[in-house]
Amino acid sequence: MARMKFLCDADRCIECNACVTACKNEHEVPWGINRRRVVTINDGLPGERSVSMACMHCTDAPCAAVCPVACFYTTDDAVVLHNKDTCIGCGYCSYACPFGAPQYPQMANFGTRGKMDKCTYCSGGPEADLSTAEYQKYGANRLAEGKLPLCAEMCSTKALLAGDGDIIAEIYRERVVTRGYGSGAWGWRTAYGDTVNV
Amino acid sequence: MRQPITRLALGAAGLFATAFAALAQVNPTANSVQEGALMEALQSGQSVTGRISIPDSGASVLIDPSGRTWASLHTGTLQWITIIAVLGMLALLVAFYLYRGRVRVEAGFSGRKILRFNIIDRFAHWLLATTFIILALTGLNLILGRALLLPLIGEGAFGTLSAWGKIAHNYLAWPFMAALIMVFVLWVAHNIPNRLDLEWIKQAGGLLQKNVHPPARKFNAGQKIIFWSVIIGGALLSWTGIMLLFPGEAGPGTGWQFYQVIHAVVSAVMVAIILAHIYIGSLGMEGAFDAMGNGEVDENWAREHHSLWVEEKLGRDAAKSPPPRARATPAE
Amino acid sequence: MLVKRRTREAAQGGRLAQVAAGLSAKPLDRRSFLRASGLTVGGLAALGSIGGGLTRRAEAGPTDHSQDIEIRKNICTHCSVGCTVTAEVQNGVWVGQEPSWYSPINRGTHCAKGASVREIVHGDRRLKYPMKKVGGEWQRISWEQAIEEVGDKLLEIRERSGADSVYWLGSAKFSNEGAYLMRKMAAFWGTNNVDHQARICHSTTVAGVANTWGYGAQTNSYNDIRNSKTMIFMGSNAAEAHPVSLQHILEGKEVNRANVIVFDPRFTRTAAHATEYVRFRPGTDIAVINGLLWHIFENGWEDTEYLSQRVWGMDQIREAVKAYPPEVVENISWIPGDTLRRVAEIFATQKPSTFIWCMGGTQHTVGTANVRAYNNLLLATGNVGKEGTGANIFRGHCNVQGATDLGLDVGNLPLYYGLSEGAWRHWSRVWDVPYDYFVSRFDEVPGKGGRDPRTAEQNMEVPGITSTRWFDAVMIDAEEVDQRDNIKAMFVMGHGGNTVPRMQDAQRGMNALDLLVVADPHPTTFAALHSRTDNTYLLPICTQFEVDGSRTASNRSLQWGQKIVEPIFESDNDFAVMYRLSVKLGFGEEMFKNFEMIEGKFGVYPSAESILREINRGGWSTGYTGQSPERLKAHMANQQHFDLVTLRAGPDAPEEVRDDYYGLPWPCWGTPEFRHPGSHILYNTGLEPIRGGGAFRPRFGLERDGQTLLAEGSWPVGSEIEDGYPEFTMALLRQLGWDADLTADELAWIERIGDGDEDRINAVSWSTDLSGGIQRVALEHGCVPYGNGKARAVAWNLPDPIPVHREPIYSPRPDLVNDYPTLEDRRQQRMPNIGRSVQMAGVENRVHENFPIILTSGRLVEFEGGGEETRSNPWLAELQQDMFVEINTRDADARGIVDGGWVWVTGAEGGSRARVKALVTERVSPGLAFMPFHFAGWFQGEDQRGNYPEGADPIVLGESVNVITTYGYDPVTGMHEGKTTLCQIEAA
């Protein structure tokens, strides 16, 4: 099985936020929930780079480790998903996550955050593939349709890559060789314990 | 309106922050910020942070490796601390029981009752006690339930239980804190440490030997230890708990993580202490439960454990009179 | 790998599965989705907190995977890149958006706006039904009542004040057909007061470029930038304004290791990806370009062969730029001499080089001159007319190129025919309406203010009032406006009211109008800025996703947009509304007689196909004749066959598109049957004209100062005339003996156009021959129909034939104003332009001391134009919730301003002020501030949400930058000064 990963090529990312709205569009994500976001480092300075970030679907995902109710599971494609029926909205995963992926309807007091929501790598949740129940809770399931996450598919400059980790690493490696520079595979070391060596 | 984001990437920002008007040639491609360089420049506990247009300051944190540190702490050390605290105390109590057995009223029950805790005292105590027990159980569930309970009752039941448990934990924290304040106000005067406590401690409160009864006022040193443990531990739990309930106040993720760790460690210690307290207040000592049961204790029990308090209560003479009717049936 | 969605699943599942699916696919509203997903509380609460409360009338549920999905393709309605939008439609509902992998332009990708367009046809912030203001309150009315009342009022105003007192403000959001229809409607109404957003984005480009080498458009394409070795961006923040273009730019940069040089006052997202970033003072482009040319001529880096063959007048430029040595340029523009030298050398020697500009270059009092300067840099280095070179003008709106082409302009009939009698006669023939009919529709203009009176026939040939000045034309003394009366009515279709400076005056203008009609999918600033109580109408128009039509991307490619869903609510399409209004106004039957009428929501309307065919019949001058609806649809259906870099369909492509360039970029000569492939790169002599090649267009005469204006020693390959030649006319064909190649039909047409008169037959040209015969014959002989001329480095008909630096009206350097003053006061487009007086008053009153910060403006990636549409889309609005001003750290510290804090920005005119948030950043240098221009709905601290019809207010409101911006108009096109003014900022 493929080992699905995300890779944001910071030398291509222009903070156009297509990934953000594509995600909103595909899953009808409500206001205040940002399954994906773009952060700009060194904003306004010559070193500036933007990076699109969402759940990285980590190896040994820390969210899954800390979840007191074990609502996370990893699919055959190495996608980290969770079960909203089990989730109690405790917020632990959001504090364990190095990437700020878990989202809640509100970060409100008394822990009334609501059920956690996060990037599903466009692959739904524990309900039957492509069912209405699945869409209602988790959004679309593109993987089940043989498609990849829409954020990456719609990325304006093809900065955001999604797919099998080996393949996208190879694409990135080739780019770096072609252009003679690279900014690194952002988040890979933290998420997967390794990085793309060029 | 939440704070907008001004922080540039920590550490490495300095590498690039040179006012670029001064640069002869500005080549943003050659200067591009590398993740590796940023991460290396980070001190532990820091994060790679940038600017984001949505008004959620947390979202501007791009990578915060401390999450993984906390996660491993949470799933390793904290679980073990909890397990050791609970099992350790249970083991101690069993050992104590085997060694000492139930601490009896050596003079036997007199049949004469002295009011030890009035209704307000008892209300405060029991409010504190019940909320603590529920908080402890629901809290333990978050730490250990996944390993212990989930396999037993299955995902569905466990999920429901945990969801209710979380709600109970969040809302019962408030009566717990109210009771804590009550208890503090009601009893603090009796719990100021004094010289007697040293003697009591030297004799281990007479718990280890029969017929040893160091003098004590209303609260002996052991109870004072429990009292102050509850007050200090409870305050710590309350403070960290409030921070966890109001994550906005706790600051960024690392702050929340800090409070969570304190909360969990103090909880483990408190659970252990309270286990001992429950034991000695019920099974472990004959006649002790009455103090919080109907509030009246047997005079002989009182003489053995709180001789000075009995003197105060009954007057010096009465206190010195021999214990009445030995070996009466227990009050309950 | 990727497997496409199966559409046969229903069949596989059998009947029971369908029943089950039907049960499970209950219509799902947002609330139940939220509840089910456990997101209820915060989601709705958050929406509530931003006002208005978002409740949806009907919500598209999830895709029902048991049912067939219909794929429809349209074009993104935001910027000019022309990204294909692939829509999944089920039961008439747009349920999903998929990547358009095969489009050679966007290859599946989008920006934030394109990736969220589906919301536009669901958005309940749309106008839902026609409304009018009664006693200050919005009231729902029917379409019949709206058309009836608006028509009556227009006719009454016409009666009282003349046809010119109604202003027809159109839109770059129209399809080509819609734009054409509105221009035609203005002609039938009898006025040249018709304009659209090109006025305020690239009118100066069109004027500057057309005056240099013939046509006012991007010479190459986004895709072709992949061939460039060096690119300069000047006043273009493509990363935010044209994000998908960056795909081509960055890949080109990587593959060619290309130089990406960004000149911008602000360190933009584009600058972040440059190989060299050069900061310069806003409004000093000409000094910078002349400074670059100084180095180029000084070092002999110019392309002498190219200049001698294809350019006229560069010697005069060489002399003129001697006044711009490095120290002078540095004093004016902040740029050190060695930086300029390095850039000049790279641009001139590491070729092919392209020059990209946008509104940072065009929105100035010197906009046209800026453009001319850019052109001279390209010409001097021989960088026009080849792959990887060119003036890559990134236009703004999705169809601003098309709307410009189709004459939504005060000075043109469709396709740049101008307003001359010949132009009117040409279009009269195409429209099959007597020329005299139009004469009868126009006002006679009395002699006012010492000016000569005009007959109706003369008035037809006088350009109208520009959209930047409409409110002045309402408010100004009637003597001053060069038409029968002031503007009394505005009919505004698809046009924001916050897009030109001096909004305090715009507000006064709106209040003073007798009639204001806003026809738009959203209530724009035109609907909300004013305090009108009556005679104000809102007509709900659908978007281009709800109607068929073609649109022209920046690279001149036409793409056919398919109707995705029926117009939502009670909205209706542009064609239908214009048809019904025309009928009411009395010329509908005449105007629409050539169109095929089809059944619509509220009656018949003309089909887009039939309108395009009429454009094809008349658009000879610009090569809008070959792009028949059938060919455009074939291109959309066969996108996968077009090459990513050349845009050409290969030999394996189906016959119907083989060898075509994608979208048949104009000029696409001859009739559709002639199968011209379109012109990917303009003026490209490396290709036969019949295969898309060309040459500079000789449209400025045959000689000047005794020198020829025809090309010398340069011709497109395969040309039978191996030298320069003028435009093709019947006379020239006869001279060459090529008239024998005309078919009998073609000859008959030409004779008909010439009315049988020999002289007039001889005068029939490639642009007036409705048969296309002259074009065909010229092309078949390897010639360009419009001729083979030289580009002009000196445009003697412009106020500044040679671009010279001129200080902005409000200059931070009053010491330079004496040496570099703006042009003298003048009259243009029926209005006075008192820029010079304003500039002098500013210097005398020491405005720069009270307003020490230069204010410039620009675009955000999430929003577009005036912003109503995008600020109403929650997926976009969430990303930019507050209007802000970028201010440098040092300026902020000095003023006690903190990032995210509220500030007052005050402007140099009329005590204008705006309350916005501070964004403290190094993007701007000390002394410079930047504000985005998409916001409206707050006015000088006042929240105007209550002025919008209930439920149609955009989610995000904010102050408009154009409250602060100031006087200043380009002398050629009336373009406003949107990029350089002065302001002060203080903590609120």
> Complex ipTM, two decimals?
0.96
Confidence band (pLDDT; 50, 70, 90) for C676?
A: very high
Q: How far apart are CA C259 and CA C353, in angstroms?
A: 9
Q: Which of C859, C697, C698 is nearest to C217 (CA)?
A: C697
CATH number at residue C863: 2.40.40.20
Query: What is C840-867 written as a DSSP string?
Result: HHHHHTTHHHHS-EEEEEE--SS--TT-
Using the 3D structure, point to which of C393, C411, C438 is the last residue of a domain: C393
More confident residue, C804 or C29: C804
Residue A143 lies in a domain: yes
What is the dihedral sign for C-alpha B232, B234, B238, B244? positive
**Better-scored residue on pLDDT, C721 or B197:** C721
Residues C364 and C419 reside in one and the same domain: no
Q: Which of C957, C920, C924, C956 is closest to C938 using CA atoms?
A: C957
Beta strands in C422-477 (DSSP E): none
**Boundaries of domain holding A53:** 4-190
pLDDT at B317: 56
Confidence tier at B200 by pLDDT (50, 70, 90): confident
Looking at the structure, tell me whether residues C859 and C874 fall in a common domain.
yes
Q: Per the domain annotation, does A196 fall within a domain? A: no
- Residue C59 pLDDT level (bands cut at 50, 70, 90): very low
Domains identified in chain C, total number: 5
Quick check: C879 contacting A, CB < 8 Å? yes
CA C178, C213, C680, A15 dihedral sign is negative
Q: Rounded to whole angstroms, how far apart are CA atoms A131 and C22? A: 12
Q: Which residues of A touch C33 (CB under 8 A)?
A: 28, 136
| CA distance linking residue C149 with residue C155, whole number of Å | 10
Q: What CATH number is attached to the domain comprising A72?
A: 3.30.70.20
Which residue among A45, A49, A69 places its CB closest to the CB of B158? A69
Coil, helix or strand for B103?
A: strand
Reported as a pLDDT band with limits 50, 70 and 90, residue C370 is very high
In the prediction, which pLDDT does B300 show? Answer: 86
DSSP C265: S
Cβ-nearest to B162 among A50, A69, A97: A69
Closest Cα of chain A to B161: distance in Å? Answer: 10
Residue ranges of C 842-871 with Cβ closer than 8 A to chain B: 862
The mean per-residue pLDDT over the stretch C701-724 comes to 94
Q: If you average pLDDT over every residue of chain B, what do you get? A: 82
CA distance C62 to chain A (A): 6
Is the pLDDT reported for residue C976 higher than 70? yes
Count of the separate structural domains present in chain A: 1
Shared domain for C411 and C342, answered yes or no, is no
Task: Indicate if the pLDDT at residue B203 is higher than 70.
Answer: yes
Tokens for C678?
Answer: 């379109």
Residues C841 and C974 grouped into a single domain? yes
Q: How far is C217 from chain A (nearest CA, A)?
A: 24
Question: What would the pLDDT profile of A134-178 be if each residue is shown by its tens digit?
Answer: 999 999 999 999 999 999 999 999 999 999 999 999 999 999 999
Please tell me which of the candidates A22, A105, A132 has its beta carbon nearest to residue C40: A105
Q: Give the CA distances from residue C133 to residues C328, C511, C869, in Å, rounded to whole numbers and listed in that order.
A: 57, 13, 22
Q: What is the average pLDDT value for chain C, to the nearest integer?
A: 92
With a cut of 70, say whether residue C399 has pLDDT above it: yes
The model's pLDDT over C850-876, given as tens digits with 9 standing for 90+, comes to 999 999 999 999 999 999 999 999 999
pLDDT of residue B56: 81
Res C534: pLDDT: 96
**Least confident among B109-123, C796-810, C920-934, C953-967:** B109-123
Q: Cα C26 vs. chain centroid, distance in angstroms?
A: 43
User: Both C426 and C388 in a single domain?
Assistant: no
pLDDT in tens, C761-776: 999 999 999 999 999 9
pLDDT at B283: 84
Is the residue at A151 inside a domain?
A: yes
CA distance B183 to chain A (A): 24
> What's the pLDDT band for B290 if we cut at 50, 70, 90?
confident
The reply to whether C279 falls in a domain is yes
Q: Do B33 and A41 touch (CB under 8 A)?
A: yes
Contact B152/C at CB under 8 A? no
Structural domain of C184? 143-197+400-542+577-585
Q: Which chains touch C (3 or more CB pairs under 8 A)?
A: A, B
d(CA B329, CA B107): 12
What are the C-alpha distances in Å from C456 to residues A144, B53, C192, C440, C870?
68, 55, 12, 7, 42
Question: pLDDT tens for residues C69-98?
Answer: 999 999 999 999 999 999 999 999 999 999
* Alpha carbon distance, N-terminus to C-terminus of chain B: 60
Looking at the partner chain, which of B3, B6, B26 has a beta carbon nearest the beta carbon of C277? Answer: B26
Model confidence at B324, in pLDDT bands (50, 70, 90)?
low
B35:A92 CB<8 A:
no
Return residues 21-60 of B near C (CB < 8 Å): 21, 24-30, 51, 53-55
pLDDT at C852: 97
Residue A195 lies in a domain: no
Q: Is residue A110 part of a domain?
A: yes
Q: Do A190 and B65 touch (CB under 8 A)?
A: yes
In a domain, A107, yes or no: yes
C881 neighbourhood in chain B, CB within 8 Å: 54-55
C639 vs C649: CA distance, rounded Å: 9
Same-domain check for residues C821 and C945: yes
Same domain, C421 and C536: yes
Q: What confidence score (pLDDT) does residue C845 get?
A: 94
What's the pLDDT band for B199 if we cut at 50, 70, 90? confident
**Which of the two residues, A52 and C34, has the higher pLDDT score?**
A52
Paired tokens of B284: 């472990």
- CA dist C952 and C792 (Å) reads 50
Name chain C contacts of B27, Cβ cutoff 8 Å.
274-277
**Bridge pairing between strands C166-169 and C489-493:** parallel
Q: Above 70 in pLDDT, residue C9?
A: no
What tens digit of pLDDT does each residue of C161-196 get? Answer: 999 999 999 999 999 999 999 999 999 999 999 999
Residue-wise DSSP of C174-216: S-HHHHHHHHHHHHHHT-S-EE-THHHHTHHHHHHHHHHHS--
What is the pLDDT at residue C668?
Answer: 97
**Does residue C822 share a domain with residue C798?**
no
Q: Is residue C838 located within the same domain as residue C947?
A: yes
Q: How far is B21 from chain C (nearest CA, A)?
A: 8
Residue C383 has pLDDT above 50, yes or no: yes
Query: Which of C657, C629, C674 minimizes the C-alpha distance to C766?
Result: C674
User: Are C55 and C159 contained in the same domain?
Assistant: no
> What does the pLDDT average to over C796-810?
96
- Both tokens assigned to C587: 């010329």
Is the residue at C667 inside a domain?
no
Q: Which residues of B touch A195 (CB under 8 A)?
A: 36
For position C149, what pLDDT does the model report?
A: 97
pLDDT (tens digit per residue) in B72-107: 888 888 999 999 999 999 999 999 989 888 888 888
Q: In order of start, what are the domains of chain B with their CATH numbers?
A: 13-64 (no CATH), 69-320 (1.20.950.20)
Residue-wise pLDDT for C355-368, tens only, equals 999 999 999 999 99
Among candidate residues B331, B105, B62, the one with its CA nearest the CA of residue B213: B105
Q: What is the CA B189 to chain-centroid distance, rounded?
A: 22
Q: Given an 8 Å threshold on Cβ–Cβ distance, is A40 in contact with B20?
A: no
DSSP letter at C510? H
Does any domain span residue A197?
no
DSSP-derived letter for residue C461 is T
Q: Are A156 and C246 in contact (CB under 8 A)?
A: yes
Q: Name which of C922, C924, C956 to mutate to probe chain B: the one with the most chain B Cβ atoms within 10 A of its Cβ.
A: C922
Question: Is position C507 within any domain?
Answer: yes
| Residues 6 or more apart in contact with residue C899 via CB below 8 angstroms | B4, B5, B6, C892, C918, C919, C920, C921
* Confidence label for B280 from pLDDT (cuts 50, 70 and 90): confident
* pLDDT, tens digit (0-9, with 9 covering 90-100), for C581-596: 999 999 999 999 999 9
What DSSP character marks residue A110?
G
CB B125 within 8 A of CB B227: no
Question: What confidence category does residue C56 fall into, taking pLDDT thresholds of 50, 70 and 90?
Answer: very low
Q: Which tokens sit at C400? A: 């601003």
Residue B195 burial by Cβ neighbours in a 10 Å radius (0-12, 13-18, 19+): exposed
Is C350 found in the same domain as C234?
A: yes
Please list the residues that pair with C198 across neighbouring strands. none
Q: Are residues C223 and C177 in the same domain?
A: no
Q: Which amino acid is at A184?
A: G
**Structure confidence at residue B320 (pLDDT):** 57
pLDDT, residue B313, reads 78
| Residue C563 forms part of a structural domain | no
Between the CA of residue C49 and those of C91, C450, C955, what are the distances in Å? 34, 59, 11
> What separation, in Å, do the N-terminal and C-terminal C-alpha atoms of chain C show?
56
Residue B8 pLDDT exceeds 70: no
User: Does residue C367 belong to the interface with chain A, where contact is any CB pair within 8 Å?
Assistant: no
The mean pLDDT of C36-54, rounded to a whole number, is 33
Q: Which residues of C touch A156 (CB under 8 A)?
A: 106, 109-111, 243-244, 246-247
Q: Is residue C667 reached through a cis peptide bond, with omega within 30 degrees of 0 on the bond before it?
A: yes
